[in-house]
Amino acid sequence: MTASVFDTLDTPVPDAILGLAAQFRADTRPGRIDLGVGVFRDEAGRTPVMRAVKAAEARLLEQQDSKSYLGLEGDMGFVERMAPIVFGTAHGLGDRLQGLQTAGGTGALRAALDLVARANPKARVWVGLPTWANHRPLILSAGLEVAPMPFFDQASQTVDVGAMLEALSAARPGDAVILQGCCHNPTGAVLEPADWDALATIVADRGLLPIMDLAYQGLGDGLEADAASTRLMAARVPALLIAYSCDKNFGVYRDRVGALWVIGTNAAEAARARAHALAAVRTMWSMPPDHGAAAIRLILEDAALTADWRAELDSMRSRIVEVRRALAAAHPLLAPLGRQTGMFSLLPVDAPVVERLKTAHAIYAVPPGRINVAGLRVDQVETFAQALARAI
């Protein structure tokens, strides 16, 4: 038999998180702990459907009378009702703000990067290290150059804002920079308001295009506080892209619900950029999935459902804070986790320690040390801390 064209393909580098999940499923040891997959879990270890989502889905089942396409832009009612949550009820952006529904936050980022490539094919995309595992592949898939900048020192568990600013001082006008708006993945690191102010200044002064990756709003310090950096950037720069995910804060992971917003210097520029974004998504997913976005729209159209969603989101955030406090008290090495926010932290350990946690203690983390804090129950914290002490 002659060789297939596929024989020319190299074996791809396996996805660390997905590979870890498969190993966890195959592990039959009792008491094993999965801190790899990034989903919220309650104190019983479940990832439940949120109450408001369940109620909205019931209404959707009863009321929806067609499965026809909505169009490239998706459910614009969903996009319009999410905008005040992201930008505030009195953002004053007017028609400078244009949005569309996307296939999850990853889809929003991919469309944003394609838009950057259309506007400036020679743009470099600056991204802090370490960052979410998918950022680099997404940048490369858009045909753009990755420009790494220092962000977080794993050993000291500190953010090096000075190094970030120094790196960006070498950025060219028209370059883009990805900034995670809150609950930094994978580090849990917190940028102070003064840090965001300095970043906004250098971005504006050097003519850079910021891409705000906002994937965990409400799971850090609350909905309003978690949007502060995005709102600051929107007020300080002439152009901005916001890639948003509802997967975590509405718990609709498998429904892939996201949005992309464009802020331009004027309404015409924003509309033109949105049109190019729609042309880009036509070649990706064409029409976005409807179910999750429709359910979220129904929640945000109903004051009682909105209040219940906010209350349950607050309880999820409180659980994460409780686990972080327990970890910080359990071992000196874990003390910095109490000052961090969101679902993820990057432990001050190396890959061999992570491997020993897995092989000797059935605790699964992503090398070189990312853990999903929300994957731990409070009653497992002491077990985890003791295992970590033995693995070091």
Residues with catalytic roles: 132, 213, 215, 248
Radius of gyration over alpha carbons of the chain, in Å?
A: 21
Q: Which residues pair with 283 in a beta bridge?
A: none
CB 392 within 8 A of CB 350: no
What is the Cα–Cα distance from 230 to 196, expressed in whole angstroms? 9
| Cα–Cα nearest to 182, from 245, 235, 91, 139 | 245
Q: Residue 285 CB: number of other CB atoms within 10 A? A: 17
CB 194 within 8 A of CB 162: no
Number of H helices, E strands in the chain: 14, 13
What is the Cα–Cα distance from 79 to 159, expressed in whole angstroms? 33
Q: Residue 46 CB: number of other CB atoms within 10 A? A: 9
CB-based burial, 179-190: b 16+ in 10 Å, e otherwise = bbbbbbbbbbbb
Q: Compute, in degrees rounded to 10, the torsion defined by CA atoms 36, 38, 39, 40.
A: 90
Q: Which two tokens stand for residue 339?
A: 């000052």
